[in-house]
């Protein structure tokens, strides 16, 4: 049976203190809207400023789409690079790091120039097209995290042996990827999913400049130049995003063939 190690508990306690302190400070400040007393007035004001639900729903939908596309791109790529094309590793990793250092505003103006209503691929010409552009933009933004997670996960399992074993049983590539590899990197995919979700929910620049009704622009609208409401928003956004991640975790847990790799 596993014994709890005191070192582990110490690390956890220190970590939790570090992470909770700023949240407590923000929460405490958000309660101070009414002079001299603690109240949830700031939260009430935020809820009443319309659009909370619709913008959150919009961003959640885009986030889920981003996760699916991100996984669909990252897993096969990391798999093939590890298995057959290791020389490409450096190039692929460099490409996935690009969105981290290129300013979002440069990227989004690039998208507008490339895919505007007069171009070959007029994505900005319609709401649906712009939604696609936004989602694919987010796939790019989340790619560093998704790819790194998936790559780390694949490295931790013996991809070669698994593939050879599955092949010897007569499996073809889609089966290998879906039924053999994917379930074994579940925790890595979950990590990538969490990171992607958080990024998309809070993202502002792409959504605002592409004129999409996402949560980020809503947060900015409510929070700009106010004092207490942004603090309330930060706490609410934190709590709700955490809850959504809990849901993703539950869904991931219940996926067919999923088993703890421990």
Partner 1 sequence: MSAIAPTVARPRITLSNLGAWFGVAPFFIFALMFLIAPTVYLLIGAFQNHDGGFTLDNLARLGQPSIRNSYLLSIEVSFTSALFGALFGLCLALAIVRGGLPGWLRPTLMTFSGVASNFAGVPLAFAFIATLGRMGFITVLLNNLGLDLYAAGFNIFTFTGLTLTYLYFQIPLMILVVTPALDGMKREWNEAASMLGASQAQYWRMVALPVLWPSILGASLLLFANAFGAIATAYALTGPSLNIVPILLYAQIRGDVLHDPNLGYALALGMLLITGLSNFAYIVLRARSERWLK
Partner 2 sequence: MNVKMALLGSVAMLALGGAAAPAFADGMDDLVAAAKKEGQLTVIALPHDWCGYGALIDSFKAKYGLTINELNPDGGSGDEVEAIKANKTNKGPQAPDVIDVGLSFGPSAKADGLIQPYKVSTWASIPDSAKDAEGFWTGDYYGVLAMAVNTDIVKKVPADWGDLKSADYKASVAIVGDPRTANQATMAVYAAGLAGGATDPAKAAADGLNFFADINKSGNFVPVRGASATIAQGTTPIVVMWDYNALAARDTLKGNPKVAVVVPKSGVIAGVYVQAISAYAPHPSAAKLWMEHLYSDEGQVGWLKGYCHPIRFNDLVANKKIPADVLAALPPAESYAKAKFPTLAEQAAAKDVVAKQWDAIVGATVAK
Q: Residue numbers of the site for partner 2 (CB under 8 A)? A: 29, 32-35, 105, 109-110, 112-113, 116-119, 124-126, 130, 204-205, 208-211, 217, 220-221, 224-228, 230-231
Instruction: Provide the b/e sequence for 122-136 (b: ≥16 CB within 10 Å).
Output: ebbeeeeebbebbbb
Half-sphere exposure of 32 (CA within 13 A, CB side): 11
207 touching partner 1, by CB under 8 A: no
Total residues contacting partner 1 by CB under 8 A comes to 99
Task: Decide whether 4 or 53 has the Cβ nearer to partner 1.
Answer: 4
Q: Tell me which of 56, 79, 218, 228 binds partner 1, using CB under 8 A.
A: 79
The nearest distance, CB 11 to partner 2, in angstroms, is 26
Task: Decide whether 58 or 153 has the Cβ nearer to partner 1.
Answer: 153
The contact mask relative to partner 1 for 31-70 (x = CB under 8 A, - = no) is: ----------------------------------------
Shortest CA distance to 52 belongs to which of 212, 214, 202? 214
165 touching partner 1, by CB under 8 A: no
Cα–Cα distance measured from residue 138 to residue 145, given in angstroms and rounded to the nearest whole number: 12
Instruction: Provide the b/e sequence for 84-118 (b: ≥16 CB within 10 Å).
Output: eeeeeeeebeeebeebeeeeeeebbeebbeebeee
Cα–Cα distance measured from residue 79 to residue 150, given in angstroms and rounded to the nearest whole number: 9
32 binds, among partner 1, partner 2, none (CB under 5 to 8 A by kind): partner 2
């Amino acid at each position: 049976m596993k014994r709890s190690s005191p070192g582990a508990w110490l690390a956890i306690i220190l970590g939790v203190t570090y992470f909770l302190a700023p949240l407590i400070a923000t929460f405490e400040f958000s309660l101070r809207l009414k002079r001299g007393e603690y109240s949830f007035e700031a939260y009430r004001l935020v809820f009443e400023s319309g659009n909370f639900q619709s913008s959150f729903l919009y961003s959640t939908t885009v986030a889920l789409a981003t996760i699916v596309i991100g996984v669909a791109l990252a897993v096969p790529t990391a798999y093939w690079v590890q298995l057959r094309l290791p020389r490409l590793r450096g190039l692929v990793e460099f490409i996935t790091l690009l969105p981290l250092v290129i300013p979002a505003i440069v990227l989004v103006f690039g998208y507008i120039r490339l895919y505007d209503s007069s171009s070959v691929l007029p994505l900005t010409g319609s709401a649906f097209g712009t939604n696609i552009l936004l989602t694919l933009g987010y796939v790019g933004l989340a790619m560093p995290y998704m790819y790194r997670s998936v790559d780390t996960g694949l490295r931790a399992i013996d991809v070669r042996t698994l593939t050879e074993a599955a092949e010897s049983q007569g499996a073809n590539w889609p089966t290998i990827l879906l039924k053999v590899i994917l379930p074994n990197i579940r925790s890595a995919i979950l990590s990538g999913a969490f990171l992607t979700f958080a990024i998309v929910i809070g993202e502002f620049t792409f959504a605002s400049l592409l004129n999409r009704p996402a949560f980020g622009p809503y947060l900015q609208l409510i929070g700009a130049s106010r004092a207490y409401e942004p603090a309330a928003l930060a706490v609410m956004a934190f709590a709700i995003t955490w809850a959504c991640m809990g849901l993703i975790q539950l869904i991931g847990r219940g996926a067919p063939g999923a088993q703890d790799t421990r």
